[in-house]
Amino acid sequence: MDKLIHIRAQKGFSLVSLMALKNIDATQIGAALNVPTPERAKRTSSESGLSLIGTGPGCWLAHAEGRSPFWADELRDRLVGIASVSDQSSSYDILRLRGTNARTVLQRGMAIDLHESAFGPDSVATSAIAHIGVIMWQVDDQPSYDVATFRSYAESFRLWLDHNCAAL
């Protein structure tokens, strides 16, 4: 029986943390990267495939697929004097969950309202699922979600996820 949830590990992504330096406006960072800078827990994207994921005041994750291993250095060069840059690509695992039961499974572990009226495409949450820190964003209205966990917790998160999917 189809449980109407599909899970796929993301491979070949680049993930970089950005933090605005003191007295720097978020729009300066967006202009330097050619992508609108979200002012809150939202995700914005550019035509080039770069996404900015708002994780806190003056803080974002820059996410892209298939970039060179030197992408963080390229971003650092573009953001000199306006943001600190730290490559996080090897620190996180990202799972893509999609399908009609993706929201249901995630809601079992989060104390955040994931109803479509409260959490829609490009919404972002920094929270915990089963005591594991996650950064989650809704990719589209299927719904599909990307869930980033520290790599050292990825196996524990996957066990929780498999257990809750089996209970559908």
Instruction: List pLDDT tens digits, range 153-163.
Output: 999 999 999 99
Domain boundaries, the chain: 13-87, 91-166
What is the rounded CA–CA span in Å between residue 73 and residue 56? 23
Q: Is the pLDDT of residue 2 over 90?
A: no
For 10-59, how does the pLDDT look when each residue is reduced to its tens digit (9 = 90+)?
A: 999 999 999 999 999 999 999 999 999 998 999 999 999 999 999 999 99
Instruction: Indicate the pairing of strand 83-87 with strand 124-129.
Output: unpaired
Instruction: For residues 135-156, give the mean pLDDT.
Output: 96
What is the rounded CA–CA span in Å between residue 165 and residue 24? 44
Architecture per CATH, domain 13-87, reads as 2-Layer Sandwich (3.30)
Architecture per CATH, domain 91-166, reads as 2-Layer Sandwich (3.30)
What is the reported pLDDT for 3? 61
For 85-121, how does the pLDDT look when each residue is reduced to its tens digit (9 = 90+)?
A: 999 999 999 999 999 899 999 999 999 999 999 999 9
What is the reported pLDDT for 113? 94
Write down the pTM of the prediction: 0.94
What is the reported pLDDT for 168? 86
CB 6, CB 97: distance < 8 Å? yes
What is the reported pLDDT for 1? 39
